[in-house]
Amino acid sequence: MTNKLIGTITVAALALCAAANAAGKPEVEKAKANADTFAALDRNGDKQISRTEAGVDRELSDNFAYIDTDGDGFISLAEFLAHFERLRDPT
Ligand SMILES: [Ca+2]
Ligand SMILES: [Ca+2]
C-alpha cells in the first residue's frame, strides 16, 4: 500500500467520524435528557415508573397504558425512551 493511499483512507475515515459525531450528538443529548427525566420521575429508584410515580406528570399519567407497551404496569426506561422516539417520529 502506498503512503498516498493510506493518507487518503485516513482522511476519509476522519471525515466519516466527523459526520457521525455531528449527526449523533444531539440524539445522545436528547436521550440523556430523557434518561434524566426518567430518573427524576422514578422516586423510589427501582428503575421503573409506577402508576403512582407517573401521577406527578399529567401527560405521562394519561398515556400510561400506551407507554407501558409490555403491560406489566410499570414504565421501564426502554419504554419511556421509545415513547419519546415515537413522539419525535410517529411513522
Ligand atoms: Ca419507581
Ligand atoms: Ca412495562
| Per-residue pLDDT tens digits for 26-75 | 888 888 889 999 999 999 999 999 999 999 999 999 999 999 999 999 99
Rounded to whole angstroms, how far apart are CA atoms 50 and 41?
Answer: 9
CA–centroid distance, 31 to ligand 2, in Å, is 18
Residue type, 55: G
User: Mind listing the domains of the chain with CATH numbers?
Assistant: 26-88 (1.10.238.10)
Q: Where are the alpha helices (DSSP H) in the chain?
A: 3-41, 51-54, 58-62, 64-67, 77-88
User: Looking at residue 64, what is its pLDDT?
Assistant: 97
- Segment 8-17 shows an average pLDDT of 57
User: Nearest bound ligand to CA 47?
Assistant: 1
- The better pLDDT of the pair 84, 55 is held by 55
Sorted by sequence, the CB contacts under 8 Å of residue 74 that are 6+ apart come out as 48, 49, 50, 68
Residue 24: which pLDDT band, with cuts at 50, 70 and 90? low
Residue 87: which pLDDT band, with cuts at 50, 70 and 90? confident
CA–centroid distance, 72 to ligand 1, in Å, is 13
User: Looking at residue 19, what is its pLDDT?
Assistant: 58
CA–centroid distance, 64 to ligand 2, in Å, is 9
